[in-house]
A and B are shown apart, each in its own frame.
Chain A
Amino acid sequence: MTFETSVELLKFHSVAYTVYAFIIISVVAWFGYNLGRKEKAKPIVRIPFYGYIAFLVAMGVGHHIFTYNSIPWVSQDIMRHHIKPDKRFDIEIADHTFKMPEKMEIKKGEKVFFNAKSDDLTYGFGLFRQDGTMVAQMQVNPGTPNDMLWTFNECGEFDVMSTEYSGPEGNNMRVKKAVVVTGCDKKGAQS
């Protein structure tokens, strides 16, 4: 299983967490109901204590192993300084303003290196679809490198927005359709 975009990933995540939420609420509600009953409740399943502990450890660690293997940007992010990018864009932020190329034109499937620098405050650098969903983001701290290697597996126009609060003046830090990704056929596949 591989998630090509954040939309696919978050849809899966949304369903999985909703199912879990109903299970945990139901389990505690079942406990609450049976705590007050005089008749002995029949356990639905018997889970040995060490089995429960093993389950918790497996879930905690397994979650990261699963995402490492199913989300392509994890390993790419860790190895980003050893991967040659197809394109590079330098972004400078100061006085609550983005200074970057007017249009960042990208082909689907290209590895793009975004290098952001802040001259004053802590900001964020986020890419958003036109429907408001997030493609990716990173923090932009002053004085330290802030870079992200991203492969666009989808076409479209994307807004750049600061994802970190930098004072009330930062509320307008949005550049509409700053990134354009082309190279898809009608079905969205790489043309």
Chain B
Amino acid sequence: MSLMKNLMEGTNFNPSSLTALQKITLRAVVMSFLFYGLASIEGTLMRIALVNPNIPPINGSPEHFFSIMTVHPIIGIFGSTYQLVFAAFMFLIPYLTKKPLYSVGLANFVWIMITIGSALAWIAAFIWHYAPLYTLYWPLPADVDQFSTIGGIVFIVGIALIMIGTLAFIYNIYATIFARVGVHANKTTKELLISGFGIDGLLNLIHKLMGKPPYTKEPALSLPVVAIFRGTVDTFLDALVILGAGVLVLVYLLADTAGLHWDVHAIDALLYKNFFWWGLDLVADGLVLIYVAGSWYLLATIITGQKLFMENVARAALLLELVVSWMVWSHHLLSDQGQPEMMKLISGEMVTAFELLTQGLALFITLVTLWKARPLKMTMELKYLLGGLVGFGLAVPAGIIQADMGLNRVLHNTQWIIGAHVHVAILVGLYMTLYSVVYVLWPMLTNNTKLYSSKLANAHFWLHLIGGIGMGAFMGMAGLEGMLRRHFYMDGEYQTFMILAAVCAVMLVTAWVLFMINIVMSIGIKGLIGIFLPAEDETATYGIDPQPAVVVTQKKK
């Protein structure tokens, strides 16, 4: 097949054969990878600017540099990661529970809202240079002396749309999980809730220790669904916090447009910081770790075709993560001297240290499940899963190290945090796990479309792995030498590390380009357009059609 024919028509992809559920999933996936590319290019621009500040379009301007730094995580986390995770879960929940998705329309609404919201936030930074960073430390986002009020309003509206889309995703997921239809027709809401929180796993462990028969032999919800449910609790709370902060900023900005200059110091900056980090940390430490643990368990069982090792322990660990994720935010405030010392000690150090335990358990359970099923073929999904394990194996201890009152004094706000911890966690840990999910779901979502090139897939894997670990490592080394994370160095400081980190960033962008070429050559431009056209088949399930009789009966009522 010629290159041009592949480019237009793909390998054997037929978009008209897709159900509505497959199409909405793929739409969000497409948008997610476009946003990933944008975030990746932005990140690379910033890395190169730290080598040569005059690189266009930054041209040595801190205003432009920090505008990019502001939207880079918005595009990367919300535009890309949220979209990809939400898409996968809106597909997987019907697949795992054998129930139809509550609403295809709502699922469409989710990706459209997040796409528009992310685009608005990006436009606010691009046109008006609105740059309070994602941390939105009060009163910076309401500082109308430095930033354009209109830019701020557009930015906050964008964030609000993302959060509205997030709430719609949560509603769709919960409505599907708790629908008492199909296999759950005879379950009570209480049974589903107990299972959702992982309490049944804990009770099974307690019963075993007391020599009693198990609380339940067949939990109402499978383990990956429990992880999705639990992670979504944190997603919900986080959305409320970000929306709350957004409303506060918006009220001040709107007051300014009306000529009212309210005193920003009416809001306690440290209290706001606590509130904001409590919510934001539910994404970083709750949502990511829980969703990731659930994804590892699912991937391990799909790849091996076997039951998960120590499933009850895994269920109970997810419950433990519930408590842990709500109580760890103070590790972001170890350098805030107004923060009570007891909160630093208990929340910032001790409870945070439990993340080593919960993530260590997830890593152990996943590896043993794989090990018991050997020999396994080294497929792309297995490679990426192992890459994801390495990513969190590196990033979680890097985070625990800095969540310490002694080390935080010399590491806070340095490149160590954003490099060795955050970027290794996101790029290597999270994204390699997500790529594994993509390769597992690929045949289900595209009706067994042949991948254009396994060589391109392998090149993408190695470039992403080496680029991700390398960039994090060199940024981390610069951080140990005192380089700050939110500063535009323009006099050639920390050059060796910055050149090496920039080379790794270019590897990451190249990896993304190769991945996109492989995907486009597999589904073709016609296929890509076809994904966004209405589905002929409105089915909201995968692999369980025709729909269960109970669902059909209920629909008729």
Chain A residues in the interface with B (C-beta under 8 A): 6, 9-10, 13-14, 17, 20-21, 24-25, 27-28, 31-32, 34-38, 49, 52-53, 56-57, 59-61, 63-64, 67-68, 70-71, 73-74, 77-78, 120-122, 124, 126, 128-129, 131-139, 141-148, 161, 163-169, 171
A184: min CB distance to chain B, Å: 21
- Are A14 and B477 in contact, CB atoms less than 8 angstroms apart? yes
For A129, the chain B residues whose CB sits under 8 A away are 482
Contact, CB under 8 Å: B377 / A36:
yes
Q: Is the CB of B146 within 8 A of A9?
A: no
CB-CB nearest 6 A-B residue pairs: A60-B353, A144-B338, A71-B406, A165-B486, A67-B406, A134-B482
Count of A-B residue pairs with CB < 8 Å: 203
Please state if B364 and A52 are interface contacts (CB–CB under 8 Å): yes
B557 CB, min distance to chain A CBs, angstroms? 50
Chain A residues closer than 8 Å to B135, beta-carbon distance: 165
Q: Chain A: which residue is nearest B368 at the CB level?
A: A49
B403 to chain A, nearest CB (A): 9
User: B45 near A: Cβ within 8 Å?
Assistant: no
Tell me whether A139 and B480 are in contact (CB under 8 A): no
Bound CA span A38–B377, Å: 10
* Residue in chain A with minimal CB distance to B266: A143
| A148 contacts across to B, CB distance below 8 A | 337
Contact at A143–B131, with CB atoms within 8 Å? no
Closest chain A residue to B477 by CB distance? A14
A residues near B137, Cβ cutoff 8 Å: 121-122, 164-165
| Residue numbers in B under 8 Å from A122 (CB-CB) | 137-138, 140, 269, 273
Kindly report which residue of chain A lies nearest to residue B413, judged by CB atoms: A163
Kindly state the separation between the CA atoms of A81 and B406 in the bound complex, as whole angstroms.
Answer: 17
**Other-chain residue from A28, A63, A143 in contact with B390 (beta carbon distance below 8 A):** A28
Q: Which residue of B lies closest to A123 (CB)?
A: B137
CB distance from A145 to the nearest CB of B (A): 5
Contact: B486 with A164, CB < 8 Å?
A: yes
Which of A13, A32, A121 has a CB less than 8 Å from the CB of B386? A32
**Residue of B143, B268, B487 touching A167 (CB-CB under 8 A):** B143
B281 to chain A minimum Cβ distance, whole angstroms, is 16
Residues of A within 8 A of B65 (CB): 168
Q: Of A27, A77, A132, A144, which is within 8 A of B481 by CB? A: A132
Q: Closest Cβ of chain A: how far from B370's Cβ, in Å?
A: 6
A-B contact pairs, 27 of them (CB 8 A): A10-B480, A13-B407, A21-B394, A35-B378, A35-B382, A36-B377, A38-B375, A49-B310, A53-B357, A56-B356, A56-B361, A57-B357, A64-B349, A71-B406, A77-B409, A121-B140, A122-B140, A124-B335, A128-B482, A133-B481, A133-B482, A141-B270, A141-B273, A144-B336, A148-B337, A163-B413, A164-B413
Which chain A positions have C-beta within 8 A of B182?
Answer: none
- Contact between A17 and B370, CB atoms less than 8 A apart: no
Question: B360 contacts which of A37, A56, A73 (Cβ < 8 Å)?
Answer: A56
- B378 engages A32 (CB within 8 Å): yes
Query: Quick one: given A24-B393, A60-B400, A164-B486, are A142 and B410 in contact (CB under 8 Å)?
Result: no
Q: Does B106 contact A (CB under 8 A)?
A: no
Contacts of A17 in B (CB 8 A): 397-398, 401, 420
